[in-house]
């Protein structure tokens, strides 16, 4: 069985070595980089299943590296950073990261988050690849192609992060049904809800910015105050 490969990117070598020990003990194959540029070079040569990415690094820090990676890759990205404010976390999630963990951290928590992200990512790909005739979902001028992980509006391709795509597909498959923040988090993140409400709302906001003409007056993703969100629009 092929081992899953994790790219660990941090300029603090002690952190890289510490996490390497824990992740290798779980059976993962580890690749190491110490700045954003080195990480991008590594991705050109290697197949990677998940990235753990520091923010503050020389040459290229984690945020522009994350943006660059997201332009071409869909694997989960976990940001690891000493910048721990809510705005820092929102910024990281807004540019395409799937998770954001502050320093200092417990290595066992990182291992648990890695497992959760990979489990969700592989489950999503498996579901998408087995959809058959349901691989295309259409709502007015919005088309979701789950087999290709693509979204088009008026035949123009819209770039979404894997998490944004997962939320949109979930809402599309429950058209007209109101899904709570907890339901969305449970299905898309595949982990206990705890304090996941803000995370869901940030991703919904980013999704609206990309697919709506006016995100403050959305045509597709409707808010049902006090309950959750639903996708409206005739098939």
**pLDDT tens for each residue of 75-129:** 899 999 888 888 888 888 888 888 899 999 999 999 999 998 888 777 666 555 5
Query: Could you count the other beta carbons within 10 Å of the beta carbon of residue 54?
Result: 25
What's the burial of 191, exposed, middle or buried (CB within 10 Å: 0-12/13-18/19+)? Answer: middle
In 52-194, which residue ranges form alpha helices assigned H by DSSP? 62-70, 86-94, 107-129, 162-173, 181-189
User: Measuring CA to CA, which residue among 193, 206, 201 is closest to residue 160?
Assistant: 206
pLDDT digits (tens, 9 = 90+) for 15-43: 999 999 999 999 999 999 999 999 999 99
Let me know how long the chain is.
235
Q: Average pLDDT, stretch 153-172?
A: 89
In angstroms, how far is CA 173 from the centroid of its own chain? 19
List all residues 6 or more positions away from 50 whose beta carbon is below 8 Å from its beta carbon. Answer: 4, 5, 6, 7, 75, 76, 77, 78, 114, 117, 118, 121
Q: Quick one: tokens of 126? A: 């498996």
pLDDT digits (tens, 9 = 90+) for 167-208: 999 998 888 889 998 888 888 877 767 666 788 898 999 999
Quote the pTM value: 0.64
d(CA 101, CA 62): 13
Q: Does residue 131 register a pLDDT over 50?
A: no
Domain 5-127 has CATH 3.40.630.10: no
pLDDT digits (tens, 9 = 90+) for 4-22: 999 999 999 999 999 999 9
Residue 133: per-residue pLDDT: 46
The domain ranges of the chain are: 5-127, 132-231
Residue 87: per-residue pLDDT: 86
Q: Which CATH class is domain 132-231?
A: mainly alpha
Q: Average pLDDT, stretch 127-150?
A: 73
Structural contact between residues 51 and 24, judged by C-beta atoms closer than 8 angstroms: no
């Amino acid at each position: 069985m092929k081992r899953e490969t994790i790219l660990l990117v941090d300029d603090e070598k002690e952190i890289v070595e510490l996490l390497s020990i824990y992740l290798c003990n779980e059976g993962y194959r580890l690749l190491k980089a110490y700045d954003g540029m080195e990480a991008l070079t590594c991705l050109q040569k290697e197949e990677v299943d998940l990235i753990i990415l520091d923010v503050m690094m020389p040459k290229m820090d984690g945020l522009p590296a994350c943006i660059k990676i997201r332009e071409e890759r869909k694997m989960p990205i976990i940001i690891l950073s000493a910048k721990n404010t809510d705005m820092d976390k929102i910024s990281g999630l807004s540019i395409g990261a799937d998770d954001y963990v502050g320093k200092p951290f417990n290595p066992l928590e990182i291992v648990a988050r890695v497992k959760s992200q990979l489990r969700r990512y592989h489950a999503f790909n498996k579901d998408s690849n087995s959809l058959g005739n349901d691989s295309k979902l259409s709502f007015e001028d919005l088309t979701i192609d789950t087999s290709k992980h693509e979204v088009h509006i008026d035949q123009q391709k819209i770039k979404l992060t894997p998490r944004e795509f997962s939320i949109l597909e979930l809402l599309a498959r429950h058209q007209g049904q109101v899904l709570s923040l907890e339901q969305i988090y449970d299905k898309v993140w595949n982990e206990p809800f705890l304090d996941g409400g803000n995370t869901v709302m940030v991703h919904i906001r980013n999704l609206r910015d990309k697919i709506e003409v006016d995100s403050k007056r959305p045509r597709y993703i409707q808010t049902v105050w006090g309950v959750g969100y639903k996708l409206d629009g005739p098939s």
